[in-house]
Amino acid sequence: MKILVLSSLFPNDVQPRHGIFIEHRVAHLARAGDEIQVVAPVPWFPSSNPRFGHYAALTRIPKATTRRGVAVIYPRYPVIPKVGMTLAPMLMAAALYPVLAKLRRRFEFDVIDSYYLYPDGVAAALLAKWLDVPFTMTALGSDVTQIPESASARHMILSATRRAAAVTTVAGALRDQLLTLGARPDNISVVLHGVDLDLFSPPPDRAALRARLGMAGPTVMCVGYLVENKGIDLAIRAIALLSGVRLMIAGTGPCATALTALAESLGVRDRVNFLGHVDQQSLPELYGAADIVANCSAREGISNVLLEALACGTPLVATPVWGSPEVVSCAEAGMLARDRSDTAIADAIAHLIADPPDRAKTRAYAETFNWRETGRLHHALLTEATT
């Protein structure tokens, strides 16, 4: 089967962890024998001047590359400020049509497999109609929990899902919300993420690792882009309620300065370590050395961080939102906070410090989330979509 993967969230040299779960899923499809071409559209921006921040960084993304043996192209599409959200699917589809039409002369794809319902999935629906091929959509999180709050976006998303050959979600909670919004029930399936069980694994000598990293006493870790909805502020406030507990924060983002100031104001700056950017290859050691990984997000499909931490044998404290309860569903996985508040998170951390699960059992639980099975299920859906 020849599959054209369409997603603006696919990783690139500038954003190597951007939608990395999509890259993993695609890699396993390729290993199973499918021929794959990835098209990862990037917003066009006219200047690379650093003062433009994120948008300027996008200009450094290459036009084409190969990742894990899969060819990837990064065509540009126009984004119009302020009104761009409403027009994004049409602008993306219009920019991609000549690219896909040309590509199809040498790579006659059988299906468009899109990730993220809006704008990508809606654009895929338009492109599939123009090119007369079936298409599939995968919902990842905020494309179900947040974007449909816009009536126009919701209408376009539902229209596209009803025409899709198949729709998958990465969590049962996302499927249920799509159905509540009005999606048709007969073409929606749940296909959970997997985790790279080779890269993310328990350290052979955890005590030695902690000593080398200078870790002493109970240590909690947060990983993610430092934006408001990730709830890193709640983790800092929770640490302030706990004596002797330290917090490591891996990630960068627009809230970094405010979070540092918060730690200062709460008198815990000496117990909060801002690590900045940590590359993918260095994360397993940090996960494995930490006593707990906390995910305090306001909205999440299923966070990579949850599965990566578990694979390293580290239990979780997570807020009870969207897909997180589907992962933190047993004692081996850790504990759900009773609500999304600093006191509830602190209580859950204190409970796990006092009574941690067996880390070997935590790892064994993580092994139930494997990319091989995810790839098998997704391949079956794509096969059905093309027959």
| 180 and 277, same domain (yes or no) | no
| 309 and 359, same domain (yes or no) | yes
DSSP H or E segment with residue 236: helix 232-240
| 337 and 374, same domain (yes or no) | no
Q: What is the pLDDT of residue 50?
A: 61
Residue 59, domain extent: 2-194+370-385
| CATH assignment at residue 231 | 3.40.50.2000
119 prior amide bond cis, ω within 30: yes
Q: What is the pLDDT of residues 316-367, one digit of tens each?
A: 999 999 889 999 999 999 999 999 999 999 999 999 999 999 999 999 999 9
| 188 and 73, same domain (yes or no) | yes
∠ CA(146), CA(186), CA(2), 5° rounding? 85
In a domain, 140, yes or no: yes
In a domain, 190, yes or no: yes
Average pLDDT over residues 61-85: 86
Q: What is the pLDDT of residue 241?
A: 98
| 11 and 64, same domain (yes or no) | yes
Average pLDDT over residues 33-45: 91
61 pLDDT tier (thresholds 50, 70, 90): confident
User: Does the structure show a pLDDT above 60 at 48?
Assistant: no
| 16 and 157, same domain (yes or no) | yes
Q: What is the pLDDT of residue 18?
A: 82
Q: What is the pLDDT of residues 259-289, one digit of tens each?
A: 999 999 999 999 999 999 998 899 999 999 9
User: Does the structure show a pLDDT above 60 at 52?
Assistant: no
Q: What is the pLDDT of residues 206-252, one digit of tens each?
A: 999 999 999 999 999 999 999 999 999 999 999 999 999 999 999 99
Quote the tokens at residue 193.
């993420």
In a domain, 147, yes or no: yes
Q: What is the pLDDT of residues 118-154, one digit of tens each?
A: 999 999 999 999 999 999 999 998 999 999 999 999 9
User: In this structure, how many other beta carbons lie within 10 angstroms of the beta carbon of residue 205?
Assistant: 11
Q: What is the pLDDT of residues 287-313, one digit of tens each?
A: 999 999 999 998 878 888 999 999 999
Q: What is the pLDDT of residue 15?
A: 82
* Buried residues in 125-162 as b, exposed as e (16+ CB within 10 A): bbbbeeeebbbbbbbbbbbbbebbeeeebeebbbebbe
The CA distance from 20 to 36, in Å, is 16
Q: Which of 342, 296, 349, 348 minimizes the C-alpha distance to 322?
A: 296
User: In this structure, how many other beta carbons lie within 10 angstroms of the beta carbon of residue 118?
Assistant: 24
| 21 and 166, same domain (yes or no) | yes
| 147 and 261, same domain (yes or no) | no
The CA distance from 306 to 149, in Å, is 26
In a domain, 173, yes or no: yes
Q: Which of 33, 52, 32 minimizes the C-alpha distance to 43?
A: 52
Within the chain, strands assigned E span: 2-6, 35-39, 42-43, 64-67, 70-73, 76-77, 111-115, 135-139, 166-169, 188-190, 219-223, 246-250, 272-276, 292-295, 316-318, 334-336
Classified as helix, coil or strand, 317 is strand
Quote the tokens at residue 332.
């081996």
Per-residue 3-state assignment (H helix, E strand, C coil) for 8-38: CCCCCCCCCCCCHHHHHHHHHHHHCCCEEEE
20 pLDDT tier (thresholds 50, 70, 90): confident
Classified as helix, coil or strand, 363 is helix
Average pLDDT over residues 80-93: 82
Quote the tokens at residue 141.
């999180």
Which residues, 6+ apart, have CB-to-CB distance to 351 below 8 Å?
335
| pLDDT top residue among 86 and 191 | 191
Residue with token string 């897909």: 323
Give me the amino acid identity at 265.
S
Q: What is the largest CA-CA distance in the chain?
A: 64
The CA distance from 188 to 206, in Å, is 42
In a domain, 201, yes or no: no
The CA distance from 280 to 200, in Å, is 10
Q: Which of 308, 387, 381 minimizes the C-alpha distance to 32?
A: 381
Q: What is the pLDDT of residue 46?
A: 65
The CA distance from 383 to 387, in Å, is 7
The CA distance from 120 to 157, in Å, is 10
| 290 and 252, same domain (yes or no) | yes
The CA distance from 222 to 231, in Å, is 10
Residue with token string 């796990």: 352
In a domain, 186, yes or no: yes
Q: What is the pLDDT of residues 152-174, one digit of tens each?
A: 999 999 999 999 999 999 999 99
| 135 and 161, same domain (yes or no) | yes
**Predicted structure pTM score:** 0.88
- Count of domains forming the chain: 2
Percent of the chain with pLDDT over 70: 96
| 21 and 164, same domain (yes or no) | yes
| 109 and 17, same domain (yes or no) | yes
In a domain, 200, yes or no: no
